[in-house]
């Protein structure tokens, strides 16, 4: 037993000896070797520090890096002073040393006391007898990122012996670019962020309030809405998603206007302003107005053609949830390093990772991919439903006009969105896999313009046609006459759709495209106004010798939209002229024209909501609140954008301007108008949610409509009709 105990003790000693030896070896290998020799501080291990003077950093040694600006400007050069205070008294052979590295930009020397080794700065032999050094830092080409400086400083007593009497410390300094934010950062000290966070919280509170007011909403109802494939439910989900994305887009537009309300304003930084402009355009065009068309198309089209449901119900649900995920992904950049800030057109080479290194453009690209997948599924679904699921006896000539407009819309979508899909995939390749599709050296910038505007110009008609379809349903209902020139309108829609995909290059008149091609695009751009002029005249001719009921809100909104569309169309004709376009392309005149065009779509869509709300929810919207909504919206749009037509000399991509420019009065009036529009939509949202439960019961056909959706109950039953309607 004694022998065995001794053997065990010897074994334990050996184990302890081996472990101790391994610990010494590992410490020798992994602990940093940093020394303040006359030739410089080398071998720095930044996360552990220096073991040659003392094992642990000393708080007595203070390191400062003077000369850092509040934020750096791309390409600028800055003189920095490294200073070490504290530690042992200076004297003897040397006083101290340092080593500094920075993750972006370039370090360079100003005198012989500093040297550069492997991109890091350290002292030289002549700089070993001091504790202050000057060095130059050249900022990178992009100021949308952060610079991280790490400095290790030695404070030594000069006896020539590296021992524990010497001290060291390490200090990290963060410097933001002028247009950079980092990580999950919400700067509440910045007023613009208060608006962003406040708007998001308000949306969340309103949604919770709407659900809370629904006394029967519980887990079963939540499960139903998350898993439903009924086209009517999907339509309602699209409607809610569009309203929420519209609220986000409107909040961003208010931010933009608040920045421009007065000269020399510092309400927003340049970076946040660019993000707001980019995401306002992307959210409103791609995730708000376009899905609003699918909201009513999902709900109304199967009813109008006598179908029981969409052709592919599960694909319909998948398309919706993919759209929501895409919108949230694109907008999430605000909270993860900064949203996309290159403009909603994503022009190259701004989208190159060299110039926009953050995650914003990448997240926007991912969101667009999901959006295009959603749109592709929906377009196929609608084409099959409209072409193959009409009630027996209904040929295409007998389809309601709203369904005709949706048909032309999805055909356009199926043509143009694959082009955008290819462009986004190539953009992702350029950012992450070093491809050169859009590199300026091979004229990639022009290549992006061609692809994007092949999508972007017809996209205007993609959002316009559903609104026109709503107007073509509302006008005959309240005028009590058949739509004038129905066949002329259908052929005009076909011609306009064809021309719309052929005139994309009028957005590129100032890019140096071939002069002959430019002339052809000028002619085509002027020609596209002809079919829309015919549609406009047919709508007005429907009123001839009629007794329209202008007391009805749907008709009031449509008439307001017709007036707004007239201004948008007339001001757009001037842009077909190369000479005019060169002067006006980059100015606020174009902003006003574009918003008058899409503003008419928004107002037409509001008319459609007031028209079909009774069918969807079985109740009427409050008329008093509705009239407040109409007049504030109509006046607000005109107050916002009429002054901007006069700013044809103001560049539209600047976030600050001087008082001497003379633009302040117009921008002030425009901002007042935008706030009026925003308040009007708050009234609408309250009316929308309140009337779901407290509105007057509508009945099956409160307007006296003649299309099939008015022949069933409000809301319709599970499979739309108790008995399929018949064609007269």
pLDDT score recorded for residue 16: 57
Is pLDDT larger for residue 184 or for residue 205? Answer: 205
* Residue 5 binned pLDDT confidence (cut-offs 50, 70, 90): very low
The predicted model gives 471-500 an average pLDDT of 94
| The two structure tokens encoding residue 584 | 């006006």
Q: What is the mean pLDDT of residues 564-585?
A: 88
Q: How confident is the model at residue 434 (pLDDT cuts 50, 70, 90)?
A: confident
Res. 185: pLDDT tops 80? no
DSSP 518-540: HHHHHHHHHHTHHHHHHHHHHHH
pLDDT value at 510 more than 80? yes
Is residue 537 exposed (0-12), middle (13-18) or buried (19+ Cβ within 10 Å)?
middle
What integer is the mean pLDDT of 392-411? 93
Contact status, residue 467 vs residue 600, Cβ threshold 8 Å: yes
Average pLDDT, the chain: 84
Nearest C-alpha neighbor of 706 from the set 366, 476, 451: 476
pLDDT for 651-702, tens place per residue?
888 899 999 989 999 999 999 999 999 999 999 999 998 898 888 998 899 9
Question: Residues 617-636: pLDDT tens digits?
Answer: 999 999 999 999 999 999 99
Taking 80 as the threshold, does the pLDDT of residue 562 lie above it? Answer: yes
Indicate if the alpha-carbon torsion angle 178, 182, 187, 189 is positive or negative: negative
Q: Report pLDDT digits (tens) over 156-175.
A: 766 666 656 678 888 888 88
Percentage with pLDDT > 70 across the chain: 85
Which tokens is 484 given? 């004038």
Asked if 245 and 676 count as a contact pair (C-beta separation under 8 A), the reply is no
Query: What pLDDT is stored for residue 475 in this prediction?
Result: 94
**Helix, strand, coil share of the chain (percent; to 5):** 60, 10, 30
Q: Measured between alpha carbons, how far is 273 from 282 in angstroms, rounded to an integer?
A: 14
CA distance 353 to 433: 11
User: How large a percentage of the chain has pLDDT more than 90?
Assistant: 45
312: pLDDT strictly greater than 90: yes
Average of pLDDT values for 215-219?
64
Rounded distance between C-alpha atoms, residue 688 and residue 91, angstroms: 80
Give the model's pLDDT for residue 402: 95
CA torsion sign for 289, 290, 291, 293 is: positive
CA 216 and chain centroid, separation: 35
Which of 194-203, 356-365, 461-470 has the highest mean predicted lDDT (pLDDT)? 461-470
pLDDT in tens, 314-327: 999 999 999 999 98
Reported as a pLDDT band with limits 50, 70 and 90, residue 124 is confident
Residue 85, pLDDT score = 86
Residue 367 vs residue 183, higher pLDDT:
367
Would you say 381 and 316 are in contact if contact means Cβ atoms under 8 Å apart? yes
Torsion of CA 385, 391, 397, 398, to 10 degrees: -120
> Of residues 6 and 684, which shows the higher confidence score?
684
Alpha carbon of 525 to those of 488, 491, 496, 504, 514: distances in Å?
A: 20, 18, 10, 9, 16
Question: What's the alpha-carbon Rg for the chain, to the nearest Å?
Answer: 33
Structure pTM?
0.76
Assess contact for 639 and 673: CB atoms under 8 A.
yes
The whole-angstrom separation of Cα 150 and Cα 512 is 47
Taking each helix axis from N to C terminus, what angle separates 231-260 and 270-282, rounded to the nearest 10 degrees? Answer: 150
Q: What's 66's DSSP letter?
A: E
Q: Give residue 352's pLDDT.
A: 85
pLDDT band at 113 (very low <50, low <70, confident <90, very high): confident
């Amino acid at each position: 037993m004694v022998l065995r105990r001794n053997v065990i003790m010897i074994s334990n000693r050996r184990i302890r000896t081996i472990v101790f030896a391994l610990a010494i070896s590992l410490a020798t290998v992994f602990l940093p070797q940093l020394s303040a020799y006359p030739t410089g501080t080398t071998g720095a291990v930044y996360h552990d520090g220096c073991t040659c003077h003392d094992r642990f950093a000393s708080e007595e040694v203070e390191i400062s890096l003077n000369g850092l600006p509040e934020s750096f400007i791309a390409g600028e050069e800055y003189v920095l002073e490294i200073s070490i205070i504290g530690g042992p008294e200076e004297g003897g052979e040397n006083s101290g040393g340092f080593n500094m590295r920075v993750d972006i930009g370039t370090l360079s020397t100003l005198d012989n006391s500093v040297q550069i080794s492997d991109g890091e700065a350290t002292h030289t032999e002549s700089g070993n007898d001091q504790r202050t050094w000057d060095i130059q830092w050249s900022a990178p080409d992009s100021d949308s990122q952060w610079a991280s400086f790490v400095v290790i400083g030695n404070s030594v007593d000069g006896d020539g012996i590296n021992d524990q009497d010497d001290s060291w410390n390490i200090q990290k300094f963060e410097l933001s670019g002028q247009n950079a934010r980092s990580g999950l950062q919400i700067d509440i000290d910045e007023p613009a962020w208060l608006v962003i966070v406040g708007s998001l919280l308000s949306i969340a509170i309103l949604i919770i309030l709407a659900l809370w007011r629904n006394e029967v909403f519980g887990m079963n109802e939540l499960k139903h809405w998350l898993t439903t494939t009924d086209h009517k439910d999907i339509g309602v989900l699209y409607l809610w998603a569009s309203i929420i994305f519209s609220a986000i887009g409107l909040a961003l537009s208010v931010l933009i206007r608040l920045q421009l309300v007065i000269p020399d304003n510092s309400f927003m930084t340049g970076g946040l302003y660019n993000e707001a402009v980019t995401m306002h355009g992307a959210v409103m065009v791609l995730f708000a107005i376009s899905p609003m068309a699918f909201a009513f198309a999902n709900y109304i089209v199967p009813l109008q053609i006598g179908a029981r449901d969409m052709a592919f119900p599960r694909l319909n649900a998948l398309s919706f949830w993919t759209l929501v995920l895409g919108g949230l992904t694109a907008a999430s950049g605000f909270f993860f390093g900064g949203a996309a800030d290159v403009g909603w057109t994503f022009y190259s080479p701004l989208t190159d990772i060299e110039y926009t290194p953050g995650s914003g453009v990448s997240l926007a690209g991912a969101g667009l991919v999901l959006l295009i997948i959603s749109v592709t599924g929906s377009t196929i679904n609608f084409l099959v439903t409209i072409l193959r699921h009409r009630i027996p006896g209904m040929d295409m000539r007998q389809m309601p006009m709203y369904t005709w407009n949706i048909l032309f819309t999805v055909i356009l979508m199926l043509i143009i969105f694959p082009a955008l899909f290819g462009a986004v995939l190539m953009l992702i390749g350029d950012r992450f896999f070093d491809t050169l599709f859009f590199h300026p050296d091979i004229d990639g910038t022009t290549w992006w313009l061609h692809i994007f505007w092949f999508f972007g110009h017809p996209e205007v008609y993609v959002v316009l046609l559903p609104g026109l379809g709503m107007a073509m349903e509302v006008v005959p209902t309240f005028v009590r006459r058949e739509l004038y020139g129905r066949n002329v309108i259908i052929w005009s829609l076909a011609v306009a759709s064809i021309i719309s995909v052929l005139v994309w290059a009028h957005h590129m008149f100032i890019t140096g495209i071939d002069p002959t091609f430019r002339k052809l695009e000028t002619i085509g751009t002027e020609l596209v106004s002809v079919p829309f002029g015919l549609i406009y005249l047919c709508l007005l001719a429907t009123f001839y010798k009629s007794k329209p009921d202008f007391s009805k809100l749907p008709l009031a909104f449509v008439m307001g939209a017709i007036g707004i569309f007239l201004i948008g169309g007339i001001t757009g004709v001037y842009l077909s002229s190369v000479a005019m376009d060169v002067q006006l392309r980059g100015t606020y005149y174009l902003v006003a024209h574009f918003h008058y065009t899409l503003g008419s779509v928004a107002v037409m869509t509001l008319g459609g909501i007031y028209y079909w709300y009774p069918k969807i929810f079985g109740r009427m919207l409050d008329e008093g609140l509705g009239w407040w909504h109409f007049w504030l919206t109509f006046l607000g749009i005109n107050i916002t954008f009429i002054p901007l037509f006069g700013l044809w000399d103001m560049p539209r991509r600047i976030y600050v301007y001087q008082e001497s420019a003379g633009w302040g009065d117009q921008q002030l009036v425009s901002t007042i108008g935008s706030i009026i529009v925003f308040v009007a939509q708050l009234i609408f949202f309250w009316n929308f949610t309140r009337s779901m439960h407290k509105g007057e019961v509508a009945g099956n056909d409160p307007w006296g409509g003649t299309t099939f959706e008015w022949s069933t109950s409000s809301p319709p039953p599970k499979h739309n009709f108790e008995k399929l309607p018949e064609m007269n």
